[in-house]
Structure 1
Amino acid sequence: MTALITLFSAPKPFTNPHIATIQRNAIRSWLALGDAVEVLLLGNEDGLPEAADELGVHLIKEVKRNAQGTPLVSSLFELARRHSSTSLLAYVNADILLLPDFVAAAQTLLADGNPFLGVGQRWDLEIKDELDFGENWDAGLRQRIQEKGVLHPPAGSDYFLYPRDCFTWMPEFAIGRAGWDNWMIYWARREGWRVVDATADLPIVHQNHDYSHLPGGQPHYRLPETDVNVRLGGGRRTIFTLSDANYRLKDGLVSAVPAHGARFWREVEIYPLVRLHSRLLGQLFFALFHPRKAWGEARGWLAYKLGRLRKRH
């Protein structure tokens, strides 16, 4: 069978025993999807070459990084495209377990014939030990999801499935920091591609972990690199979430998300951004729909500027 999808990821260092375990679990789940997928790991973090060799996965070490040494998302996407020939590409966070539904969903989206970005919510689950990927391995995992899984709010994305001709350009975001995943949804909407919420047909599992691998043990959204990501992506107005998907995949069918009620007004609010490509009008529409938030942002910006002026004098 010819591979359909190249799954690529930039794992964290394998120095933390729990992180190492859940990353091996994740990669093994991808390999368990069979001949329909190819797996590509990117980076040269501690323990990654040894893990790639152990798992029999292709590794590319030469990844561009920012001044802090964090891999750049643009480099990861470029390398994945250059070192693959599959019709579809999918970036997947290295702590995410995929089930066989992933391949079926990908086939459905590709057959639809339109440029798309496939995204979806994750199930959060406590997993401490190495998983067994023997025959019918996914049945036990599905049961654990039903019994102990918690569906994560539609505020973050852990995979991005897309045709190889999409996302040939992007800003130099830092991986593992907030903001860039929101930009992916914004950019797909801006380009007129279908943003498909595949949550119903494509369950994925996030293996819970701490943030000890990050500077100061802080969550990624509190780090300065997150602020840089948001700025590179165009600011707060381009922070789109899964709620901004305009299509859904359910029961094997792709259909438009009905635009009524709050959904209708959100589409009106983002119209200048996704249709007119005007950030100025996007800011104006935001102020019209959210005057208190807009005023709060303006006051915060003014206080910041005044503070800098005082420091200079």
Structure 2
Amino acid sequence: MTGSSNGGACSGKGVYLKLSVLFLLSTTIYVYLYSNITMQTFAIGEVMKGTISDIQRWRDKMEGWVQMIGGGSSHSYTEYVKNTSFPYSGHNVTRPQVRKSGNNENMVKPMSKLIFLPHKNIRKSTNVSKFNVVGDKPEVLLTLFTSWPTKAEKYVCHNNTIRNWLQLKPFIQPILFTNETLLAQEAVEKGWDVLPVRKAGRGVPILKYMYKDAMEKYKSRFYAFSNGDILYSHSLLDTLNVVLNSTHIPKGKPLMVVGRRTNVQDVTSEEAISGESVYKTANIRGKIFTVWAEDYFITSANYPWKDIPEVVIGRRAYDNWLVSNARKQKHVTIDATDTLVALHQTTKAGNQEGFKADNPEYNHNLLRRMYHQLHYSAGLTSCTEYYTHHSGDKRIKVLPRKIPRSCFPV
């Protein structure tokens, strides 16, 4: 009986061992097959995404070509773009020659081509009578410039900006700073002016030289850098006109206008097609952003940009430092948030792109080497000396502000 019992136990253990091995083998095969199938599915998905993206880009190009060629128009494409601007769009502005990047390591390298599409302008005309007219041409109120590298994920965003800023002509002169030859050609074809990036830090344009070059080449009442994903409406012109004629602001002092932006997720071409639709979209879908973020810097023609450190755009710290420095130097500072709609086109990159970019601490490290103390909180939009406000009769006024204690010391 004992021998028979031991034999049965051994037999049971052998069966259990075989089943265990079979189970492990089956599990290994399943995991292997599942992993392969998952990776292949992911790869196919990525290929399909790229294919769909290519199809969409070609569709957009075809739509642009149809709009340019269709309707039996004999005008050139440049003439077509001119017809999308405000009244007096025949305003002549010299088109600078685009310089190809040389061996200077500070110059931004050429990249791929980016197409900007034409569109039909449905924006109501700005009241020309509110602005000065020299001869038969309106005075340029603002020279507005920006810079960006070619990025596929920013295609719609930058296309919207090109069209939006173009609608502000001739009162506003849009400029793109770039050393990308193909990108520069596209911008010129669509009605913008282009200037080369004269000096950069780690491949990123240095802000002060952008101002100096724009101020040297163009004559206007104001000059401004703006991030390339910001859209504007008639409120920009209206606000600057009031600032220009305000009796509350000391005359002759350097002046800086800043403001908070309004974030809108995934702005469509239809929402960006006119100043009116930008204004409406910002009010319906927009969310006002923090007082820490400043995306545009509108300064007077006498602003001393030559004295500003060589901070670069698109990286954190420079915006708050610029405002705090303006306050320290007793320049006029104005917060235009209440009256100037600056719509930020929020994409998948989110609302903190400066923190995610290469060398995000570039400006902070530069400023820290130059100054013993950095009080960034003294450079918030809420720390400015003046602010713009809609009064009861819907007119814009510039009012003095009681600056919070948190804005000191400067």
Using the size of structure 1 for normalisation, the TM-score is: 0.75
SS state at 1:24 partner: helix
Q: Distance in 2 between matches of 1:75 and 1:194?
A: 22
Q: Is the 8 Å Cα contact of residues 198 and 209 (structure 2) preserved in structure 1? A: yes
Segments of structure 1 that go 5 or more residues without pairing to the other structure are: 274-313
Q: What is the one-letter code of the residue matched to 2:184?
A: P
Return closer, same or farther for 1:203/1:96 CA change in 2, 3 Å cut-off. same
Is the counterpart of residue 53 in structure 1 residue 188 in structure 2?
yes
Partner of 1:266: 406
SS state at 2:208 partner: helix
Is the counterpart of residue 224 in structure 1 residue 364 in structure 2?
no
Return closer, same or farther for 1:186/1:103 CA change in 2, 3 Å cut-off. same
Picking from 147, 150, 161, the partner of 1:14 is: 150
Partner of 1:285: none
Q: What is the one-letter code of the residue matched to 1:94?
A: G
Instruction: Note the 1:135-150 alignment, pairs <5 A.
Output: 137-150=274-287
Q: Distance in 2 between matches of 1:201 and 1:15?
A: 32
Partner of 2:236: 102
Q: Is the 8 Å Cα contact of residues 180 and 233 (structure 1) preserved in structure 2? A: no
Q: Distance in 2 between matches of 1:218 and 1:254?
A: 33
Q: Distance in 2 between matches of 1:191 and 1:98?
A: 29
Q: What is the one-letter code of the residue matched to 2:263?
A: D
SS state at 1:34 partner: coil
User: What per-residue deviation string (whole Å, max 9, x for no partner) do you get for residues 185-233 of structure 1?
Assistant: 0121112122111111111100013449x99x96249723143244266
Picking from 369, 372, 389, the partner of 1:250 is: 389
Q: Give 1:4 deviation, angstroms.
A: 1.2
Segments of structure 2 that go 5 or more residues without pairing to the other structure are: 1-137, 391-395
User: What per-residue deviation string (whole Å, max 9, x for no partner) do you get for residues 248-268 of structure 1?
Assistant: 111211111124xxx1x335x
Return closer, same or farther for 1:232/1:184 CA change in 2, 3 Å cut-off. farther
SS state at 2:388 partner: strand
Q: Which structure has more RCO (C-alpha within 8 Å, separation ≥ 6)?
A: 1
Picking from 165, 172, 181, the partner of 2:302 is: 165
Q: Give 1:37 deviation, angstroms.
A: 0.8
Stretches of 4+ aligned residues off by more than 6 angstroms: none
Q: Is the 8 Å Cα contact of residues 146 and 227 (structure 2) preserved in structure 1? A: yes
- Corresponding residue pairs, total: 259
Partner of 1:119: 258
- Choose 218-227 or 51-60, whichever is displaced more: 218-227
Q: What is the one-letter code of the residue matched to 1:41?
A: L
Q: Is the 8 Å Cα contact of residues 124 and 206 (structure 1) preserved in structure 2? A: yes
Q: What is the one-letter code of the residue matched to 1:176?
A: G
Q: Distance in 2 between matches of 1:76 and 1:108?
A: 26
User: What per-residue deviation string (whole Å, max 9, x for no partner) do you get for residues 234-293 of structure 1?
Assistant: 34324521121121111211111124xxx1x335x31xx4xxxxxxxxxxxxxxxxxxxx
Q: Is the 8 Å Cα contact of residues 43 and 63 (structure 1) preserved in structure 2? A: no
Q: Give 1:98 deviation, angstroms.
A: 0.7
Identity %: 22
Q: What is the one-letter code of the residue matched to 2:400?
A: A
